Amino acid sequence: MNKAVLLDRDGVINRERDDYTYRIEDFEILPDVVEALKTLMKKGYLLIIISNQGGIAKGVFTIADVEKMHAHMLNHFTKNGIKIEEIYYCPHHPEFGNCICRKPDSLNVEKALARFHLDPEKSYFIGDKERDVLAGKKVGVEGILIESNTSLLEAIEVIIK
Protein backbone atom coordinates (compact mmCIF):
# COMPACT_ATOMS: atom_id res chain seq x y z
CA MET A 1 0.00 0.00 0.00
CA ASN A 2 1.05 3.59 -0.66
CA LYS A 3 1.32 6.52 1.70
CA ALA A 4 0.19 10.05 0.96
CA VAL A 5 -0.08 13.54 2.29
CA LEU A 6 -3.48 15.03 1.59
CA LEU A 7 -3.48 18.80 1.57
CA ASP A 8 -6.16 21.42 1.82
CA ARG A 9 -5.67 24.14 -0.76
CA ASP A 10 -6.55 27.65 0.49
CA GLY A 11 -4.40 28.59 3.47
CA VAL A 12 -2.09 25.57 3.08
CA ILE A 13 -0.93 25.62 -0.57
CA ASN A 14 -1.93 29.16 -1.45
CA ARG A 15 -2.63 32.31 0.52
CA GLU A 16 -6.00 32.34 2.27
CA ARG A 17 -7.62 35.65 1.34
CA ASP A 18 -10.78 35.47 3.50
CA ASP A 19 -12.62 35.50 0.18
CA TYR A 20 -12.99 32.96 -2.59
CA THR A 21 -9.81 32.38 -4.57
CA TYR A 22 -10.75 31.46 -8.12
CA ARG A 23 -8.84 33.90 -10.34
CA ILE A 24 -5.22 33.31 -11.30
CA GLU A 25 -4.30 36.90 -10.40
CA ASP A 26 -5.48 36.25 -6.81
CA PHE A 27 -3.66 32.92 -6.51
CA GLU A 28 -0.39 33.12 -4.57
CA ILE A 29 1.50 29.96 -3.65
CA LEU A 30 2.83 30.29 -0.13
CA PRO A 31 6.58 30.43 0.59
CA ASP A 32 8.14 27.04 1.48
CA VAL A 33 5.39 25.04 -0.24
CA VAL A 34 7.61 23.89 -3.12
CA GLU A 35 10.41 22.89 -0.75
CA ALA A 36 8.01 21.08 1.60
CA LEU A 37 6.31 19.16 -1.21
CA LYS A 38 9.66 18.13 -2.71
CA THR A 39 10.74 16.85 0.70
CA LEU A 40 7.55 14.80 1.07
CA MET A 41 7.98 13.32 -2.41
CA LYS A 42 11.59 12.33 -1.58
CA LYS A 43 10.23 10.50 1.47
CA GLY A 44 7.89 8.51 -0.78
CA TYR A 45 4.61 10.30 -0.13
CA LEU A 46 2.05 10.80 -2.87
CA LEU A 47 0.60 14.32 -2.88
CA ILE A 48 -3.15 14.87 -3.20
CA ILE A 49 -5.13 18.09 -2.78
CA ILE A 50 -8.64 18.00 -1.31
CA SER A 51 -10.57 21.27 -1.23
CA ASN A 52 -14.05 22.65 -0.65
CA GLN A 53 -15.10 25.01 -3.47
CA GLY A 54 -18.56 26.08 -2.31
CA GLY A 55 -18.44 29.25 -4.41
CA ILE A 56 -19.44 27.09 -7.37
CA ALA A 57 -22.79 26.22 -5.76
CA LYS A 58 -23.25 29.86 -4.76
CA GLY A 59 -22.69 31.00 -8.36
CA VAL A 60 -19.64 33.11 -7.44
CA PHE A 61 -17.46 31.20 -9.94
CA THR A 62 -17.68 28.20 -12.22
CA ILE A 63 -16.12 24.76 -12.45
CA ALA A 64 -14.22 26.11 -15.48
CA ASP A 65 -12.75 28.89 -13.30
CA VAL A 66 -11.54 26.33 -10.74
CA GLU A 67 -10.15 24.01 -13.42
CA LYS A 68 -8.25 26.89 -15.05
CA MET A 69 -6.70 27.91 -11.75
CA HIS A 70 -5.84 24.32 -10.88
CA ALA A 71 -4.13 23.91 -14.27
CA HIS A 72 -2.09 27.04 -13.49
CA MET A 73 -1.13 25.64 -10.07
CA LEU A 74 -0.22 22.21 -11.48
CA ASN A 75 1.90 23.83 -14.17
CA HIS A 76 3.83 25.70 -11.48
CA PHE A 77 4.39 22.51 -9.50
CA THR A 78 5.41 20.51 -12.58
CA LYS A 79 8.00 23.16 -13.48
CA ASN A 80 9.38 22.75 -9.96
CA GLY A 81 9.56 18.94 -10.12
CA ILE A 82 6.46 18.28 -8.04
CA LYS A 83 3.79 15.76 -8.98
CA ILE A 84 0.31 16.24 -7.59
CA GLU A 85 -1.48 12.93 -8.11
CA GLU A 86 -4.97 14.40 -8.08
CA ILE A 87 -7.07 17.33 -6.97
CA TYR A 88 -10.43 16.45 -5.48
CA TYR A 89 -12.82 19.28 -4.76
CA CYS A 90 -16.39 19.62 -3.59
CA PRO A 91 -18.48 22.09 -5.64
CA HIS A 92 -21.36 22.06 -3.15
CA HIS A 93 -22.33 24.36 -0.31
CA PRO A 94 -24.59 23.55 2.67
CA GLU A 95 -26.84 26.53 1.89
CA PHE A 96 -27.83 24.75 -1.32
CA GLY A 97 -28.18 21.13 -0.19
CA ASN A 98 -26.29 18.36 1.51
CA CYS A 99 -23.47 16.22 0.17
CA ILE A 100 -20.87 13.84 1.54
CA CYS A 101 -17.90 15.15 -0.43
CA ARG A 102 -17.69 18.47 1.44
CA LYS A 103 -15.25 18.42 4.33
CA PRO A 104 -15.70 17.53 7.19
CA ASP A 105 -17.33 14.59 5.41
CA SER A 106 -14.88 12.15 3.95
CA LEU A 107 -15.99 11.05 0.46
CA ASN A 108 -13.09 12.76 -1.34
CA VAL A 109 -10.62 11.31 1.16
CA GLU A 110 -12.18 7.87 0.63
CA LYS A 111 -11.85 8.28 -3.15
CA ALA A 112 -8.14 9.07 -2.76
CA LEU A 113 -7.60 6.10 -0.44
CA ALA A 114 -9.25 3.70 -2.88
CA ARG A 115 -7.84 5.04 -6.13
CA PHE A 116 -4.24 5.27 -4.98
CA HIS A 117 -4.29 2.22 -2.67
CA LEU A 118 -3.34 4.34 0.32
CA ASP A 119 -2.67 3.03 3.79
CA PRO A 120 -4.59 5.45 6.05
CA GLU A 121 -2.28 4.66 8.97
CA LYS A 122 0.74 5.88 6.96
CA SER A 123 -1.01 8.92 5.48
CA TYR A 124 -1.68 12.45 6.73
CA PHE A 125 -4.11 15.28 6.04
CA ILE A 126 -2.71 18.80 6.46
CA GLY A 127 -5.30 21.52 6.76
CA ASP A 128 -5.90 24.92 8.28
CA LYS A 129 -9.47 24.21 9.40
CA GLU A 130 -10.82 21.66 11.84
CA ARG A 131 -13.01 20.26 9.04
CA ASP A 132 -9.86 19.14 7.17
CA VAL A 133 -8.61 17.16 10.15
CA LEU A 134 -12.06 15.66 10.73
CA ALA A 135 -12.40 14.50 7.11
CA GLY A 136 -9.19 12.51 7.48
CA LYS A 137 -9.95 11.27 10.98
CA LYS A 138 -13.26 9.73 9.84
CA VAL A 139 -11.30 7.24 7.73
CA GLY A 140 -8.24 6.75 9.92
CA VAL A 141 -5.92 9.38 8.38
CA GLU A 142 -4.00 11.44 10.92
CA GLY A 143 -4.74 15.14 10.68
CA ILE A 144 -2.27 17.96 11.12
CA LEU A 145 -3.92 21.29 11.86
CA ILE A 146 -1.87 24.35 10.95
CA GLU A 147 -2.50 28.06 11.09
CA SER A 148 -3.54 29.55 7.73
CA ASN A 149 -0.76 31.00 5.58
CA THR A 150 2.09 29.56 7.65
CA SER A 151 5.13 27.57 6.60
CA LEU A 152 4.36 24.06 5.44
CA LEU A 153 7.92 23.10 6.41
CA GLU A 154 6.97 23.24 10.09
CA ALA A 155 3.93 21.02 9.53
CA ILE A 156 5.85 18.30 7.74
CA GLU A 157 8.38 17.94 10.57
CA VAL A 158 5.84 15.65 12.24
CA ILE A 159 5.71 13.49 9.11
CA ILE A 160 9.37 13.24 8.14
CA LYS A 161 10.77 12.79 11.67
Q: Which of 41, 90, 37 is nearest to 66 (CA)?
A: 90
Catalytic residue, from 8, 18, 32, 65: name it. Answer: 8
Contact 120, 141 (CB under 8 A): yes
Query: What residue ranges in 8-157 does DSSP mark as E strands?
Result: 46-52, 86-90, 124-127, 142-145
Cα 104 to Cα 40, 125, 135, 154: the distances in Å are 24, 12, 4, 24
Q: Is residue 8 annotated as part of the catalytic site, yes or no? A: yes
Q: Is residue 119 annotated as part of the catalytic site, yes or no? A: no
Catalytic residue, from 10, 26, 65, 105: name it. Answer: 10
Distance CA 34, CA 25 (A): 19
Residue numbers annotated as active site: 8, 10
